[in-house]
Amino acid sequence: MSLVSELPAALADVRRPGDFFTNGVFDWRAPSLSVDGVGPLALPLLEAQAKQLVEVAELAPYGRRGATLVDPAVRNSWQIGADRVAIAGARWVEALSGVVARAAEGLGVEGAVEAVFYKLLIYEPGGFFLDHRDTEKCSGMFGTLIVAPPGLYTGGELIVRHREREARLDLSSSDPAEASFAAFYADCLHEVRPVETGYRLVLVYNLLRKGAERAPGPPIYDKEARNVAALLAGWREHDEAPEKIVFPLEHVYSPAELSFAALKGADQATAKTLREAACAAGCDLHLALLTIEESGVAEYTGYSSRRGRWGAEEPELEAGEVCSRSARLDNWKSAWDESCEIPPLPFHEAELSPPEAFEDIKPDEEYFGEATGNEGASFERAYRRAALVLWPSADFLSIVAGADVNDALAYLDALCERATRGEDRVRAAALADAIVVRLADTEWFPFRATELTPAARLLGLVRRLDHAAGVETCFERVLPARGFGRQDVETVFGALALVVEERRPLLVEHVMAGAAPKSFAACAKLLRRIAESSHAPDFRAAAARLLAAMPPRASDEPDWRRRAPDAEEIADMLAALRRIDESACASAAERLLTEPKSYGFDKILVPALRLLAEQGALSPTDAAIERLRAACLDHLRARAAEPLAPPSDWRRDPALGCKCGDCAEFSRFLADPTRKEFVLRAAEAARSHLEQTIRAAKADVDSMTLRKGRPYSLVSTKNQASYERRVAQRHEDLRNLSILEK
C-alpha cells in the first residue's frame, strides 16, 4: 500500500477536535459588577477599590489529599464567594454564552455546556498560586473557565500543563472594552505566576456538562500520532514515494480565514495529530489553499425546461474530456500559524491523500460555453480546498525548486538578500543547486526577449553568492541544455569570472557545443566578449564549436521557430574568430561568400561589415575579413555604376504571378505606356485576388476600393515606387561605400 493511502487509514479515528486548554478575547460590554461591602466596581480596577476588595475578602485556600488548607507560601491570593458577587446585564448573559461556546469548542466538548460562577479572585502585587489541580466541586464538572476583566497589572501569567505540554497565557488587558478568557480541563496542572505590578482580578467558573455518563477529557491521539510518525519516518522506504503529501480537509475555508486556529471539527484534530507526528518524524507540516483548474470539451445531454432570451429552449451541457489541467498550492501557513514566503507549488495526483480525494466532488466554479463557429462546446471549472501539506524537512529546498521557475528564482533572490550569515549563504547555494537540476531537466520555459532568461537570472544569483561550483554547474548543465539570449551575455560573462582561469576554455566549449545550435547569436556575442578580454587562442575549441553551428546548417530540419541569421550575429562571429583562430575566420568567410541565398550582400554581408567598421573592428591585416570587405565593395560599386533615371512614360514591369483573366488584363495595362489608371468593377473575391497579386509582385501601382455603385470598383493608379526604391538604395550604397572604403 502506498504512503498516500496508508496515511488516511492511520488517521481514520482522529475525529474529535480540541485541546487541553483554550483561550481568547471578547467584548467586555461593561456589565454591572458589584461586591457586597464594596459596591459597584469600576474596571479596569483601580488600586483604592482593589484594597477595599481585599479588606472584605478572605485568603484563598487550596486542597491537598482531601483537606482544605491555607498557606500563603503555596497560594497567595484573596477570594470572594459567588454569593457575595453580582454580575448583571442582558448583554453580559449574551457575552458569557459566547465565551462558553468558544471554550467548549476549543476543548472539544460536545453537547450542552454550562458555566456556574464559583468565585472572584484578587491577586495583590507578589500574589501567586503554585502548581495544582482543581477538584470536582459539583456533579458534571469537567473543567474551569477563567474570565479576566480589563485590568492594569503586569505578571500573573496562567501556566497550564497537560502531560508533556505546557501553555503560558497572559490574560491581562488594559483596554476597557476587551476581556480575556481561558478554559482548561480540571485534571490539568496549572499555576499563576507572581503578579509584578497592579492588582489581578479574575472571575472563576466551573464548566459542567449535564446528563453525561462521565466527564469528558482532553482528546488524546498519542497512538495515532505514533503510527503516523512511524509512517512518515519511513517515507523514502516506500516504492515511488511522492515528493510531498497533500491531505485535503473536510471543511471549506476562504483564503482570509485560512489558519490552523480556524480549523473546524475533525480538521482541527487531524492537523493537531499530524503536527505532532511530523515533528517527531523530521517532516514539515503546512496549511495551504489547494486550487485545481480544468478545461475541456463539454457534451450536450439534451435541452432543459429553461428558455433563453428569444424563447428557445436552452441546451444542457456537462463536462466531458479534460484537455488542460493545472493544480497548485499557495497561501501558505506554517505549523505554528505564521504566514510563509513559500512560492506557489504545483502538485500531482499521485501526491493526493487519499488518491481519490476529488472523486465525486462538485467544483466550486463551473462555466460552460456553447459551440461557436468551428469550436465545439467547452467547459471550465475550479476546485478550491484547504489542505495539509507534508514533506521531509530535508527536502524543502528541492521542493521549492520545483515551483514555477520564476517563482523559484524570486524565492532564491529573497533568500540571497537575507544571506548575510554563512549558514544562510550555504542554504541559498543549496537552493540554487536544486534549481540548476530542475532547469536542466525542463524542456522549455517562456520568457520575453527583453528580459533575462531564467538561466541567466540563476547565474546572476549564483554569482551574488560567490558560488563558483554553482557557476560551473550552470555552464555544464543549464546553458548547454536550455540556451540563452543576447540580453543574457553580460550576466553570463560576468559569472565566468568566478571560475578559475584554467577551467574557462573547457566550460565555454561545453556551452558552445550545446547552446550554439539554438542560441547562435548569443553564443557569438559571448565568445566575442570573451575573446576581447582573455587570452583568445585558448578558446580555439569553443570557436570550432561555434563555427560548426553557423546557421543555416545543412543538417537542420525545417523548424518554424528557427530564425534566419542576421547581420549582428555574423559580425559578432567574425569579430570573435579573427581574434581566436585565423583559419576558422577564413572558413567562415568562405562559407559566407559561397552561399549567397543564405548570406546575401544587402541583408547580411554589407550590414555585418558596416557594423564591424563602425565598431573599429576592420583591419587590413585580417585576410579573411578583408576578403569579405573587398567583395562587398565590388557589389556596391557595381550597383552604384548602374544608370538611374525616372521612367519616361507609363510603362511598368508587367510580370505578375497569376495568369487568370483579370490578372492578364492588368499585365497588359502595366505594359501600356499611355495608360495611368485601371478600374476593375467586380465582386469582392475578384477584387481581393487582384489586389493580393499586385501586392505580391510589388507592382508600381497604388490601389484603392471605390465604394460607389454595385459591385464596388478596385482603382489602380501607376506610380514610381521602383524608381524611388532605387534612389533610396543608391543613397544607402554610397553611404556604405564611404564607411567600408575608409
Q: Which amino acid is at 139?
A: S
260 shares a domain with 163: no
60 shares a domain with 118: yes
99-117, pLDDT tens digit by residue?
Answer: 999 999 899 888 889 999 9
CATH label of the domain that carries residue 101: 2.60.120
For residues 516 and 567, give the distance between their C-alpha atoms in angstroms, rounded to a whole number.
16
Answering whether pTM is above 0.85, one says: no
Structural domains in the chain (count): 3
308-338, pLDDT tens digit by residue?
Answer: 444 445 568 888 888 999 999 999 999 999 9
> Is residue 697 within 8 Å of residue 667, measured between CB atoms?
no
226 shares a domain with 201: no
Q: Which amino acid is at 706?
A: L
266 occurs within a structural domain: yes
326 shares a domain with 282: yes
What does the DSSP assignment read for 706-735? Answer: E--SSS-EEEEEE--HHHHHHHHHHHHHHH
> Is residue 325 within 8 Å of residue 292, measured between CB atoms?
yes
Sequence-ordered list of residues with C-beta below 8 angstroms from that of 35, at least 6 positions apart, any chain: 41, 53, 56, 80, 84, 85, 86, 120
Q: Is the pLDDT of residue 559 over 70?
A: no
> Is residue 182 within 8 Å of residue 23, measured between CB atoms?
yes
682-724, pLDDT tens digit by residue?
Answer: 999 999 999 999 999 999 999 999 998 889 999 999 999 999 9
| pLDDT at res. 338 | 92
284 shares a domain with 317: yes
Strand, coil or helix: 306: strand
Sequence-ordered list of residues with C-beta below 8 angstroms from that of 462, at least 6 positions apart, any chain: 429, 432, 470, 471, 474, 495
Among 402-416, 561-575, 634-648, the range scoring the smallest mean pLDDT is 561-575
End position of a domain, from candidates 208, 231, 265: 208
233 shares a domain with 269: yes
76 occurs within a structural domain: yes
286 occurs within a structural domain: yes
112 shares a domain with 50: yes
| pLDDT at res. 218 | 83
For residues 149 and 171, give the distance between their C-alpha atoms in angstroms, rounded to a whole number.
9
240 shares a domain with 100: no
382-391, pLDDT tens digit by residue?
Answer: 999 999 999 9
Q: Across residues 407-434, what is the average pLDDT?
A: 88
449 occurs within a structural domain: no
End position of a domain, from candidates 393, 428, 445: 393
DSSP 375: B
613 occurs within a structural domain: no
End position of a domain, from candidates 208, 231, 254: 208
Q: Per 3-state DSSP, what percentage of the chain is helix, strand, and coil (rounded to 5)? A: 40, 25, 35
Q: Provide the domain limits for residue 376.
A: 222-304+312-393
287 shares a domain with 178: no
| pLDDT at res. 316 | 81
